Amino acid sequence: MTIIGVREAENNSLNFRIAKPCFRVNGLSCDFKSARMEYKKLVAITGLSGLYEMISSKSDGGLVRSLADKSTKFASNRLHNFSHLESIEVYTTADNVNLTDVFMAMQASSEALPDAGNAAAVKAYFGKVYPTMDFERVYASDMKKMVKWFEQLRSNNIEIKLSGETDEATPEQAEKKSAPKPVEQKAATVKNAPAKKVNAPRKMV
């Protein structure tokens, strides 16, 4: 699995199709006005600013809705590359982390969000909120992008949670989960979807 940073996720040269459309529909029209936006449905699209919700997909592209102005448009995969937010990882001084971890730290922090246009303020902000971020490999433009994306997530009241994550277990559930399994019981094999692969990441400065 190739570890990617925010820049690589949005500007990579690998074309891929969305394998799991949000809704099963005929063609690309569907009633999504009443549907709640979910983190797992969000994508970043090359050539388009901000975040988008994948409404439906076909072999030649997808119907997406902007989180900024709620407008919908068809994005062709001949012109654009799609990156699921869930597939984006960020460089740190230790192991690389999923972008969700950074967003969660931002959400838990009491620090006010900086002006995304002020590179120095943005870097100082992440120095307090996520000090283990590798500032030599994560571009200033990537940090600005994370601030803008987080603002859109917050303004749309989208819960920041990876697919498969559940709410915190009750004490009874936690006790049951921690109980040892019988020796003869075989452990279930779980296959997680790998992050999207791209060419070797460029060195971030």
Q: Which of 19, 73, 28, 75 is nearest to 47 (CA)?
A: 75
E-strand ranges in the chain read: 42-45, 51-58, 61-66, 72-76, 82-84, 89-90, 97-98
* CA quadruple 146, 42, 58, 200: dihedral sign: positive
What is the amino acid identity at position 123?
Answer: K
The answer to whether the beta carbons of residues 83 and 48 sit under 8 Å apart is no
Q: Which two tokens stand for residue 16?
A: 């891929």
Give phi and psi for 84, each to the nearest 5. -65, 135
89 DSSP β-pair partners:
98
The per-residue pLDDT for 27 is: 45
Q: Which two tokens stand for residue 77?
A: 């995969």
Fold for 1-164, please state it.
Arc Repressor Mutant, subunit A (1.10.10)
The per-residue pLDDT for 51 is: 97
Tens digit of each residue's pLDDT, the chain (205 residues): 334 455 444 444 333 333 333 334 334 444 444 457 899 999 999 999 999 999 998 889 999 999 999 999 999 999 999 999 999 999 999 999 999 999 999 999 999 999 999 999 999 999 999 999 999 999 999 999 999 999 999 999 999 999 876 555 444 444 544 454 554 444 444 344 445 444 444 444 3
What is the pTM (predicted TM-score) of this model? 0.66
Neighbours of 43 (CB within 10 A): 24
The per-residue pLDDT for 55 is: 94
The per-residue pLDDT for 166 is: 56
